[in-house]
């Protein structure tokens, strides 16, 4: 006897339960029962007290009633549902996501084709233009020269190019979504559960449906995973920044006869810029975190070396490449924060 035979008997469902099972592979317990053998401990478990009764999960109930679906039937249904919409979804997503592939491939080609003695000075000029800090420029120069000295320049520059592209797409998509959320309470209510899900979903889960939709050789596979993971902060903080703009300022803009478009671009976005830049900073950090996971699906860069260190038990390779990722994270964090500090100073003046 199974644990819950009494329940189906008391509910008068015995005839329904004795119907032929709906299909699917048989469990080992069912095969042994069919051959006339008992599963070890089954009789004792069935005869046990209520204290020892298992939770009435699908699999446990299926043992008492073959008409109850098993957990594997439920997961198979989810898989079949996804596979049934896979081709139509791919037809829609392929042309939409193709610019991301072109941008990632083009950025990787450009960063690796241009010699290091041109790329590093250009990066230093960009840092100086954003921060006006000689200390940060020197820190970036020393960091990149160190990574080049230990032969990690190419993986580091690959990682940096992926971060630039994915952060750029995240900002291009995230800021307009954040603006829409700030202007519509209804859209915000609908968007918040989606953002909560994206923010709490385990990183590996992002890759599962994408592997079925795109080829592992396509750069859009890891690009979409990185963007989905990293886009949430810039959306949330754009929405928050615009909503926090002082109502007196908005009333003054209305008094001057400004249109909604003029208020948005002339008042709200400039005043919300510190929050938006803070969102960009967090998006960069989350992109960098996801690059390591994305190396499992052909993303190049320092994440590949970390994966190699884990796979081959090469402690030194894993730790040194991990230190390179930390160094990149510190550089990007300091540069974006210094840029944010300059924006704040400018606004106060």
Show the tokens assigned to 301: 């860069």
pTM of the model: 0.81
**What average pLDDT does the segment 103-125 reach?**
93
- In the chain the domains, ranked by start, together with CATH numbers, are 5-69 (no CATH), 85-348 (1.10.3720.10)
Per-residue model confidence as pLDDT tens digits over 271-321: 898 899 889 999 999 998 888 888 888 889 998 999 889 888 888 888 999
- Residue 37 CB coordination number (10 Å): 10
C-alpha 242/C-alpha 174 separation (Å) is 14
- Helix (H) or strand (E) holding 297, with range, is none
Eight-class DSSP state of 50: G
**What average pLDDT does the segment 216-245 reach?**
91
Residues 6 or more apart from 278 whose CB is under 8 A from it?
Answer: 233, 237, 340
- Residue 301 CB coordination number (10 Å): 29
- Average pLDDT of the chain, as a whole number: 84
Q: Residue 150 above 50 pLDDT?
A: yes
pLDDT at residue 35, as a whole number: 57
Give the confidence band of 47 by pLDDT, cuts at 50, 70, 90. Answer: very low
Q: What is the DSSP string of 61-125?
A: HHHH-TTSPPHHHHHHHHHHHHHHHHHHHHHHHHHHHHHHHHHHHHHHHHHHHS-HHHHHHHHHH
Show the tokens assigned to 206: 């992002």
Q: Are 288 and 306 in contact (CB under 8 A)?
A: no
Show the tokens assigned to 21: 């099972």
Coil, helix or strand at residue 202: coil
Closest CA to 245 of 277, 265, 267: 267
Per-residue model confidence as pLDDT tens digits over 51-85: 777 888 888 888 878 878 888 887 888 888 888 88
């Amino acid at each position: 006897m199974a644990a819950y035979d009494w329940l189906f008997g008391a509910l008068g469902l015995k005839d329904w339960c004795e119907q032929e099972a709906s299909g699917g592979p048989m469990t080992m317990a069912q095969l042994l029962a069919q051959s006339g053998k008992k599963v070890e401990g089954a009789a004792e478990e069935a005869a046990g007290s209520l204290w020892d009764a298992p939770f009435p999960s699908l699999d446990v109930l299926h043992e008492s009633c073959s008409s109850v679906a098993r957990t594997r039937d439920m997961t198979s249904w989810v898989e079949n549902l996804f596979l049934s919409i896979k081709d139509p979804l791919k037809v829609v997503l392929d042309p939409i996501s193709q610019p991301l592939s072109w941008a990632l491939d083009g950025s990787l080609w450009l960063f690796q084709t241009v010699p290091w003695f041109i790329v590093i000075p250009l990066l230093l000029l960009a840092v100086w233009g954003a921060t006006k800090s000689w200390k940060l420029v020197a820190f970036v120069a020393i960091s990149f020269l160190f990574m080049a000295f230990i032969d990690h320049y190419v993986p580091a520059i690959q990682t940096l190019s992926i971060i630039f592209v994915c952060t750029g797409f995240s900002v291009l998509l995230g800021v307009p979504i954040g603006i829409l959320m700030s202007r519509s309470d209804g859209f915000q209510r609908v968007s918040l559960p989606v953002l909560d899900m994206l923010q709490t979903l385990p990183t590996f889960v992002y890759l599962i449906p994408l592997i079925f939709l795109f080829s592992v050789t396509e750069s859009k596979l890891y690009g979409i995973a990185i963007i989905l993971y990293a886009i949430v902060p810039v959306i949330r903080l754009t929405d928050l920044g615009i909503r926090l703009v002082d109502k007196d300022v908005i009333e003054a803009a209305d008094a001057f006869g400004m249109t909604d478009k003029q208020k948005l671009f002339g008042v709200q976005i400039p005043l919300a810029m510190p929050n938006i830049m803070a969102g960009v900073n967090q998006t960069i950090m989350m992109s960098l975190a996801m690059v390591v996971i994305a190396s499992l699906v052909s993303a190049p860069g320092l994440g590949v070396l970390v994966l190699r260190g884990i796979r081959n038990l090469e402690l030194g390779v894993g730790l040194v490449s991990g230190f390179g990722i930390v160094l990149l994270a510190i550089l990007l964090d300091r540069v974006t924060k210094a840029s944010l500090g300059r924006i704040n100073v400018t606004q106060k003046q």
